[in-house]
Amino acid sequence: MDTSARIMIVGAGVVGCSTAYHLARAGVTDVLVVDQGPLFATGGSSSHAPGLVFQTNASELLTKLAAYTVERFSAEELDGRRCFHQVGGIEVAATEARWDDLERKRGLAAAWGVPAELIGPNEVHDRIPQLDPSRIHGGLYVPTDGIAKPVRAAEAMAREATRRGVRFRGNTEVIGFDVTGGRVRAVRTTDGSVEVETVLCCAGIWGPKIGSLAGVSIPVQPVAHQYAVTGPTADLGASKAAGGDEVTQPLLRHQDCSMYFRQIHDRWGIGSYQHRVLPVQAADLAPSAPRGGGAEAPSDGGAWKGMSSVHPFTPQDFKQPWDDACELLPALGRAEIAEGMNGLMLFTADGMPVLGPSREIDNFWVAEAVWITHSAGVGRAMSEWLTEGSPRLDLRAADLRRFEEFAHSSSYVAERSAQSFREVYDVIHPQQPPARPRPLRTTPFHEREEQLGAVFLEANGWERPHWYDCNEHLVAGREIVAPGEWAGRYFSPIVAAEHLAARERVAMFDMTSLARAEVSGRGALELLQRLTTNQLDRKPGYVTYTLMLEHTGGIRADITVARLSETEFQVGCNGPRDIAWLRRHADETTAVRDITGGTCCIGLWGPKARDVLAPLADEDVSHEAFRFFRAKRLHVGEVPVTALRLSYVGELGWELYTSAEFGRRLWDLLAAQGTEHGIFPAGRGAFNGMRLEKGYRAWGGDMSSEHDPDEAGLAFAVKPDKGDFVGRDALLRRREQPVRRRLCCLRIDDGTVLMGSEPVFAGSGRTTAGFTTSAGYGHSAGASLAYAWIPAELAEPGTELRVSYFDRRHPATVVADPVFDPDMSRMRC
Ligand code: THG
């Protein structure tokens, strides 16, 4: 038995094998992959997954991971047998709403680079003759979708990895970890102890158990998902015995009934998410997979037996799905279900995978809750992340560290995972808040906000007012442009009225949910200097807008750093991930404390902001005494406040921070003092529209680690001369090449308000030139706006482009950025 390995991968399913393969190709071969089951039909979820790969998804990340998986599997073979059958995939619409969704999805697919076309009912019928075309409005056809053979692909990739020196050991169970000083030193297995530098857990449904052996929480929920195989049907294809092809017909997705269909020679494989949620407790999982099964032939009967990732089929849950299936595919009525299973898979709170280093143990990494569809893409990303320090795709949406403590609770994981199971095939609006558990995190202003008629949406557990019904009167006499149904699903004319009125008077924005950290100690400045791009060695009282970069030079975050004293900084972040990143790099000379909970913040913004603050503050807040991008500790009435003079909405004003117990007093003092100036509370809707027209980028939406500061228009925040910092060298290397794409501002000339993520076309071209990021109506600018990534040569103001929204093209023009107050006269006064 091996006694050491640089990287130990736990789990030889398709994710573990793919990671090993990509590590080996990157030259990292001191890798040991262990699995409790036999190689390579190990008995985990890769062994029973039916292999359908539908690439299109509302998530850019998942679409890109799927597209690479298709590319990788298409190139693999095992002893002359293919690992991918590229038969195409069709998602059909049985309702008007679904058809609209398909039009939108086609746009998303184009934006992310997956060719897709909308086809009519008869064209669907041409490709899937068993289907009743009168039941559907049409379908979205993706020619490059297909059927993956997960176990075969795993073995094929493992062979190549083995050829390069990676070792694979089956029937080897992990039974413990030796952890000292916050690191795994050795992994104990049934075959002996292995010293390791890094562990990567790809154990699928056994992941939480493996994690707990090391003291690592992996917030995933195993659930059962039904899959049935029919007996032979006359009209599908030749049987396996007769030498028929396994699959020639396109896959079929019937999302209105939460079902999918594939051919297996002369039988149908049918999956359903329609049934009640069937969660499985980690403790109820069989401890090991004694025998791998029939990955090659799930229809051969008994192939699933003995796999502990498969639970018995519950026929009562398949009654309605079967009726629905027969309605869409009438020929099914002559067949019967030959066998079925309730296969286990992992769900998460937000439907995304869980990837990266754990919070608890620096060298314990995770790649869990990954579908076959995304497996090769995830393997490649994990390999890059482990070897280069950063993945090339932006994995924020799948980063294990996106979850805060509450999101690791079993109650939250169970509730939200059940919801994501129920919604797996639903049309989900990007702004749709979860129904439960709510309210989870409320700010000290919550009671006041409720009294004022706040309409709340949720973000990272926080209740956030989107607009306030009490502001209804602000609508009167204003001409308000409202978005259409989809982009306007969470819009009220009050949003526009709050936006306009905040630029005339003064408004209070609840900014409490903005993640923030206190970084203090002897090493605080050095830590921040090392992790950020701008010069932070300035006098106490200065605030700096700066970036954190990945090792690749991509933008990890854009943050504000307020120096409150020689050794104390307050850092305004994009989310909990940034705080985890700061903490991860801190040594004993620096303390990084998440102060988001326990403190609160009001953004007091608008031309009358100074008139409200001055009489309450015990410090001079005139422009001369308290300049733009400065910080001061002062009192507002009795309330101790840290005031930062900056504004993401582009107005005169301050962010006023205090500890939670003073929140309500702060709110009440400002509200009372502001009455004579027409103060009012404003919500997130106005906030978003205001920052959009002011040109302030939202990290995660407009730019991410896939973009560098120059492309994103943020070069002003990078000072390479300040000394070394993470990402500096990579950025300077990138600067030897001209910028190829840019984030720029588009005006939609016919006034259509977009949602974001629409494809952008140049000239009369059919190929996409780029895609929009955030979009909305600039109520003060009087224009529909969208930010978009487009080739640098198209980024000049005046360039005419077209944007596709619900499959219709709209003229758009590149405009100078920002469109609102470009000379900053409203903020620097
Ligand atoms: N407030 C605080 N911290 C934050 C945000 C915030 N951190 C995360 C996120 N929001 C950061 N985003 C921005 C974007 C732009 C600005 C501030 C935060 C901004 N930019 C000035 C400009 O470009 O005109 C910078 C001017 C300068 O560098 O001097 O104000 O909302 N606390």
Task: Show the domains of the chain with their CATH numbers.
Answer: 4-54+58-65+151-218+350-402 (3.50.50.60), 447-514+597-702 (3.30.1360.120), 515-595+707-737 (3.30.70.1400)
Cβ atoms within 10 Å of 385's Cβ, excluding its own? 23
Atom 6, ligand 1: residue with shortest CA distance: 648
Residue found by looking up tokens 């019967």 in the block: 336
Q: How far is the CA of 502 from the centre of ligand 1 (A)?
A: 18
**358 contacts 201 by C-beta, under 8 angstroms:** no
Torsion of CA 739, 741, 743, 747, to 10 degrees: 130
Torsion of CA 24, 27, 28, 29, to 10 degrees: 60
Atom 4, ligand 1: residue with shortest CA distance: 572
Which residue stretches of the chain have pLDDT < 70? 287-303
pLDDT at position 298 is 46
**681 contacts 533 by C-beta, under 8 angstroms:** no
**120 contacts 102 by C-beta, under 8 angstroms:** no
Q: How far is the CA of 697 from the centre of ligand 1 (A)?
A: 9
Beta bridge partners of 267: 264
Helices (H), 605-652: 609-616
Distances (CA, A) of 653 to 608, 612, 714, 829: 8, 10, 23, 10
- The amino acid that residue 294 corresponds to is G
Atom 15, ligand 1: residue with shortest CA distance: 696
φ, ψ for residue 126, nearest 5 deg: -60, -35
**547 contacts 717 by C-beta, under 8 angstroms:** yes
Tell me, using a 6 A CB cutoff, whether residue 574 lines ligand 1: yes
**667 contacts 602 by C-beta, under 8 angstroms:** yes
Q: How far is the CA of 292 from the centre of ligand 1 (A)?
A: 54
Atom 11, ligand 1: residue with shortest CA distance: 559
pLDDT at position 634 is 98
Atom of ligand 1 nearest to the CA of 827: 24
End-to-end CA distance of the chain, in Å?
A: 72
Structure tokens at 424: 């797996």
Q: Measured in whole angstroms, how far is the alpha carbon of residue 213 from the centre of its chain?
A: 28
- Percent helix, strand and coil across the chain, each rounded to 5? 30, 30, 40
From CA 546, how far away is CA 557, in angstroms rounded? Answer: 9
Cβ atoms within 10 Å of 565's Cβ, excluding its own? 11
| 3-state SS, residue 122 | helix
From CA 527, how far away is CA 211, in angstroms rounded? Answer: 30
From CA 200, how far away is CA 219, in angstroms rounded? Answer: 16
- The amino acid that residue 550 corresponds to is E
Taking alpha carbons only, the member of 53, 426, 95, 70 closest to residue 250 is: 53
| 3-state SS, residue 748 | strand
Tell me, using a 6 A CB cutoff, whether residue 486 lines ligand 1: no
Distances (CA, A) of 411 to 217, 339, 359, 418: 13, 34, 19, 11
DSSP letter for 806, please.
T
From CA 349, how far away is CA 403, in angstroms rounded? Answer: 9
**687 contacts 511 by C-beta, under 8 angstroms:** no
DSSP string, 522-578: TTHHHHHHHHBSS-----TTBEEEEEEE-TTS-EEEEEEEEEEETTEEEEE-SSHHH
Indicate which residue of 22, 225, 265, 810 is catalytic: 225
Tell me, using a 6 A CB cutoff, whether residue 655 lines ligand 1: yes
**202 contacts 19 by C-beta, under 8 angstroms:** yes
Indicate which residue of 394, 558, 594, 817 is catalytic: 558
From CA 52, how far away is CA 39, in angstroms rounded? Answer: 22
**296 contacts 47 by C-beta, under 8 angstroms:** no
Atom of ligand 1 nearest to the CA of 716: 28
Among 516, 534, 546, 560, which is best to mutate for testing ligand 1, by the most ligand atoms less than 8 A from CB? 560
Angle at 127 between CA 123 and CA 128, to 5 degrees: 110
Q: How far is the CA of 687 from the centre of ligand 1 (A)?
A: 13
State yes or no: is 805 an active-site residue. Answer: no
Tell me, using a 6 A CB cutoff, whether residue 572 lines ligand 1: yes
Beta bridge partners of 118: 140
For residue 437, whether the previous peptide bond is cis, meaning omega lies within 30 degrees of 0, is yes
The radius of gyration computed from the CA coordinates of the chain, to the nearest angstrom, equals 28
Taking alpha carbons only, the member of 359, 372, 370, 446 closest to residue 405 is: 359
Tell me, using a 6 A CB cutoff, whether residue 580 lines ligand 1: no
Helices (H), 232-330: 319-328
Residue found by looking up tokens 């404390």 in the block: 593
From CA 618, how far away is CA 286, in angstroms rounded? Answer: 66
Distances (CA, A) of 660 to 118, 376, 601, 667: 52, 46, 9, 11
Structure tokens at 822: 């470009």
pLDDT at position 66 is 98
Q: How many residues does the chain have?
A: 829
Q: How far is the CA of 561 from the centre of ligand 1 (A)?
A: 9
DSSP letter for 496, please.
H
Q: How far is the CA of 167 from the centre of ligand 1 (A)?
A: 49
From CA 96, how far away is CA 92, in angstroms rounded? Answer: 11
Taking alpha carbons only, the member of 215, 293, 409 closest to residue 45 is: 293
From CA 652, how far away is CA 127, in angstroms rounded? Answer: 60
Atom 14, ligand 1: residue with shortest CA distance: 696
Tell me, using a 6 A CB cutoff, whether residue 648 lines ligand 1: yes
Atom 28, ligand 1: residue with shortest CA distance: 545
Taking alpha carbons only, the member of 104, 760, 783, 62 closest to residue 489 is: 104
pLDDT at position 628 is 98
State yes or no: is 542 an active-site residue. Answer: no
682's CB contacts (< 8 A; 6+ apart) are 467, 468, 471, 498, 499, 501, 502, 507, 508, 509
766's CB contacts (< 8 A; 6+ apart) are none
Atom of ligand 1 nearest to the CA of 534: 28
DSSP string, 713-745: T-GGG--GGG---TTHHHHHHHTTS---EEEEE
From CA 790, how far away is CA 628, in angstroms rounded? Answer: 32
**819 contacts 715 by C-beta, under 8 angstroms:** no
State yes or no: is 657 an active-site residue. Answer: no
**319 contacts 209 by C-beta, under 8 angstroms:** no
**Residue 593: enclosing H or E segment and its boundaries?**
strand 591-594
Phi/psi region, residue 27 (left: phi>0; alpha: psi -120 to 50; beta: rest), is left
Q: How far is the CA of 605 from the centre of ligand 1 (A)?
A: 14
Taking alpha carbons only, the member of 216, 221, 515, 201 closest to residue 350 is: 221
From CA 741, how far away is CA 262, in angstroms rounded? Answer: 40
From CA 419, how far away is CA 441, in angstroms rounded? Answer: 19
From CA 40, how far away is CA 507, in angstroms rounded? Answer: 61
Atom 3, ligand 1: residue with shortest CA distance: 572
From CA 106, how far away is CA 484, in angstroms rounded? Answer: 19
Taking alpha carbons only, the member of 602, 797, 819 closest to residue 689 is: 819
Atom of ligand 1 nearest to the CA of 694: 24
pLDDT at position 300 is 40
Residue found by looking up tokens 């106005």 in the block: 686
Structure tokens at 57: 């998804």
